[in-house]
Structure 1
C-alpha cells in the first residue's frame, strides 16, 4: 500500500491503524539545530485528541507522544525524527458486525475491494485517527516556520447552516481556542454548539467548514503548473478525512465576480516593491506565493459513523441488512479538524521553504557544519 508519505524535502511517512498498538511517523528532512521537545509537539496533539468536550468522541486517548530518534540534548540532529503515539483505548469488538458488511460511506468497501483484505477494527488505516501523525509532524513544521516569521491559524467558520461572519487573523488567535467549537466568533460558536447538541440528541451528525490563514509567507513559493503552491496545498487539504472541497482566495465566490472586480489594484511598499492591495487572490498568483496572507477554506462532510440504523450489504451472505454503528464517534468534525488543517498547511509551506532555498536543508542557523565531536547548538564554542 503506497500513499503514506507526504512532502518532497520535508518528508513525513506515517504508520499505524486506529485500533492497533500504536500510531507513529518518521520525519525526514528536518534541519539540524532546531530546539525541540515532546512538549512542543504535545501542545497541538492535545488540541486534536478525543474526549476534549461533549461534542467530541469519548474515546480515552491521551495521545502522549514519544520522540524515538533525531533529537539529542533537546535539538534536532538532522537525521530522521521518529515519533510514536500509543493507542490506549482501542475497542475493536464493536466493529465485528462489519467484518463482511461495510459501514455506509466509509472506506470499508473500497479498501476491501482494492486489497482483498482490511483492518476492520475502527476502520484501520482509513480512520481519521491517522491524522494524529500529521498533527505531530505539523508541530515541528510550525516551529521551523516560526523561526522564519511565518504564523498560521485556522478556525471553524461554519457548522450546518450556522455561518460565522468574517473574522480577522487576530480574532482567530484570540477567540478560537476559547470555545469547544474552535470558532473565532464567540456568538456564532454558541449557536454552532447548540446546533451540534440537537443533532447529537437525534443520534445524527452534521458537517461544517474550516478557514485557515498564513501570514509572513515570502514571495516566490511554488512553481508553475503541477508544482504550484495552490495545487500542492489542495492535495494536502483534500487528504484530510471527510474533506469534500478546498478553496483559496475568493474560492467558489469567484464565479460571481467579473475580471475587473477581482483583479487587484497595486501599490508600492516602504521598500519600493509593488504589492497587490486587495488580496482577493488569497496570497497565490500563477501558483506562486505573492507575499500577501494565504487564506482559504476546507469543507468537511458530516461524520458517517452515527447510531441510527442504516442499510449495508453483507458480501458473505449475499443479503442486505440493517446495522447500527455502535461506538465512540464525533458528531461533528471541524472542531478537532482545526489542528489537522493547520498541520497540513504548515507541512506544505515548510516543504516549499526548503525547496526554494529559504531554509537551509542541513542547519536551521544556516552556518557551515563543524567537525566537532561535541558540537551542540548551545555550545558557546560554536557560536
Structure 2
C-alpha cells in the first residue's frame, strides 16, 4: 500500500536515512506547462531547518525530475522524481537497533515485517511527506486557476486562533514561524513551542484548511466521497489523530432545523455547516476541514521502555527533531488536498467524455 489516488496515482519509495526519496505519478495529463518554481517553493515551505521551532536537520530538498516531462511540459507518461537525502546522521539512532521507542512504529513494524530500518524510523519517517508535496504541487496545476487551497495552524496545545477563517488574511500565513495568519495568536503559539522545546518535550495541535472556488459536482456519491478521500489522505500524515469537516463534531449537538443549510435563489446556501460537501459531492461553497496532530513521539527526556528481549531500558531521544509538527505540516495538508481534488477532478472529466 505505497500508493495514493484512484485515477491520478502516486507511488513512493525511500527511507529517512537512505540515499533518496522519490515517486512515480501516473495518469498525469499531457501538455501541462510545469511551474517548477512553484514545486520548489512548496518543498521549501516543508523542509527542515527553516526556523528555530522546527528540526535543525539541513536538507535542500531539491527535486530532480527523471521522466514524464519534456521541454517543460508533461508528456502523459509516468512522471518520475527523486529528492536526495543530504544530511543523514544515522549514528543518532544506533541505540535503537534492538529497542522499541514509546508511541513510535518500531514495535508494529517489527511485528509486521520481522525486520526494520531503525535509522530515523526508516519508511515510517515523516520525511516521506516530501514526496507528497512534489505530487500535490504538480496536481494543483491541473485545477482551475481560481481554486484556492489555504491551510494554517489553528491551535497549539490549549492556544486557539479564535477568529473564524473568513476574518483571516491567508497572505499572512507564512509571515511567521508557526504559520498562523493571526499575528497575536501566532506569538503566543511560538512562545509555547519554544517553552516546550526547552523542556525537551513536544506539543500537538490542529491545522485548518479552506478550499475556495471548487466547482460543484466534484466527488463520488458512494465510495470516493470527497470528504472521505480528503480524510483518508490527511489521516495518512504522520502524527495525524483526527479529521472533521464542516460542523464536525459540533454538528452532533445540533438539531436538523439548526444544522440544515437553506438555499438562496442561486443555490448557494445561507449557512455552510455542510462544509461545502453534500452527499459526498462539492456544492460550490467553501470546503473547510480540520486535522488534529498529536505531539511528536520523540522527546529529549528519559522514558522507560523495553528491548526486543523484554529487558527494561531507559531511552532518551537524540538528534534533531521537531518539537511541534504543525508549522511544517501546513504545506503537506495543502498539497495532499490538491492531489485529492485533482484526482477527483480528472475522474469527473472522464465521466463526461
1:240 aligns with 2:237: yes
By how many angstroms is 1:143 displaced?
A: 1.2
- Aligned match of 2:57: 59
3-state SS of paired residue (1:88): coil
Residues 137 and 343, structure 1, Cα contact 8 Å, conserved in 2:
yes
- Aligned match of 1:12: 10
- Aligned match of 1:378: none
Number of aligned residue pairs: give it.
Answer: 353
Unaligned runs of 5+ in 1: 362-383
- Aligned match of 1:324: 316
- Cα deviation code 1:12-37 (max 9, x no counterpart): 01110000000111111111111114
- Cα deviation code 1:70-97 (max 9, x no counterpart): 1111111111111110000011111111
Structure 1 distance, partners of 2:8, 2:191, is 41
- C-alpha RMSD of the superposition: 1.5
By how many angstroms is 1:315 displaced?
A: 1.2
1:305 aligns with 2:302: no
Note the 1:115-126 alignment, pairs <5 A. Answer: 115-126=113-124
Larger radius of gyration: 1
Unaligned runs of 5+ in 2: none
- Cα deviation code 1:340-369 (max 9, x no counterpart): 1011111110000011117999xxxxxxxx
1:285 aligns with 2:278: yes
Note the 1:91-102 alignment, pairs <5 A. Answer: 91-102=89-100
By how many angstroms is 1:169 displaced?
A: 5.4
Structure 1 distance, partners of 2:166, 2:130, is 25
1:342 maps to which of 334, 342, 346 = 334
- Aligned match of 1:258: 255
By how many angstroms is 1:267 displaced?
A: 0.7
3-state SS of paired residue (2:268): strand
Residues 145 and 151, structure 1, Cα contact 8 Å, conserved in 2:
no
Alpha-carbon spacing, 1:360–1:25, altered in 2? closer, same or farther (3 Å): farther
Alpha-carbon spacing, 1:88–1:170, altered in 2? closer, same or farther (3 Å): farther
By how many angstroms is 1:142 displaced?
A: 1.3
1:355 aligns with 2:347: yes
3-state SS of paired residue (2:249): helix
Note the 1:157-196 alignment, pairs <5 A. Answer: 157-168=154-165, 171-196=168-193
Residues 47 and 339, structure 1, Cα contact 8 Å, conserved in 2:
yes
- Cα deviation code 1:163-214 (max 9, x no counterpart): 0023435734221010000001110000000010110111101001000011
2:211 maps to which of 211, 214, 223 = 214
After TM superposition, the score normalised by the length of structure 1 is 0.89
By how many angstroms is 1:231 displaced?
A: 1.1
Structure 2 distance, partners of 1:34, 1:169, is 32
- Cα deviation code 1:112-162 (max 9, x no counterpart): 111000111100000000000000111001111144x31111000000000
- Aligned match of 1:275: 268
Structure 1 distance, partners of 2:274, 2:168, is 22
Structure 2 distance, partners of 1:357, 1:140, is 18
By how many angstroms is 1:39 displaced?
A: 2.2
Structure 1 distance, partners of 2:306, 2:229, is 37
Residues 308 and 325, structure 1, Cα contact 8 Å, conserved in 2:
yes
Stretches (4+) displaced over 4 A: 358-361
